[in-house]
Amino acid sequence: MAFVDGQSGGIVKSGRVPSFVKVIGAVSLGDALGYSGGWKRALATVATAIQMRCIAGEDGVDGQEVLAYFEQADVEGRFTGATAGGAVYVAEGTSNGMYTQTAPTTTGDCNKIVGYAITATKLHIEPPLNSDTIA
């Protein structure tokens, strides 16, 4: 079964270093968030790359302050088909805020490992606090 991030129904089982951020656009609990003119869903795609900085701790709408985790969180309930032990990346294309287990390889894509699959349905996510990386 292929990895799927349904981007809804997420549950954060544990999270560290919480804070509140004002978001641009809608976000879903568990989304990868980055900063580009404001806090918004991260994306690995070269032309619109937004490096991940934190994890949305709740759903939110444009202009709302939402809880976000800046160090780590275990997220489940929105994933299926993950390979346990496998690396997790921020998704590319039009999948803003989503995760993938396929490493982005296009030159200029964000390709930082942001976590690992614990089970087929649970991810351990650690937003990168060190340098950003691109393919």
Give per-residue pLDDT as tens, 64-122. 999 999 999 999 999 999 999 999 999 988 889 999 999 988 888 888 899 999 999 99
State pTM to two decimals: 0.92
DSSP 104: P
* Residue 132 maps to a domain: no
Please, which pLDDT band fits residue 129 given cuts at 50, 70 and 90?
Answer: low
76, part of any domain: yes
pLDDT of residue 130: 58
Residue with tokens 């780590």: 72
What is the three-class DSSP state of 27?
A: strand
For residue range 27-42, what is the model confidence (pLDDT) as tens digits? 999 999 999 999 999 9
- Give the C-alpha separation, 34 to 27, whole Å: 11
Give yes or no for a contact between 31 and 21, defined as CB atoms under 8 angstroms apart: no
Q: For residues 92 and 104, is the Cβ–Cβ distance under 8 A?
A: yes
What is the biggest distance separating any 2 CA atoms in the chain, rounded to whole angstroms? 37
Number of folded domains that form the chain: 1
pLDDT at 132 over 80: no
Residue 36 within a domain? yes
Identify whether 114 is part of a domain.
Answer: yes
Whether the CB-CB separation of 72 and 12 falls below 8 Å is answered with no
Does the CA dihedral 83-70-63-25 come out positive or negative? negative
Q: Tell me if 135 is assigned to some domain.
A: no
Domain, as residue range, for 18: 4-125
The pLDDT of residue 2 is 92
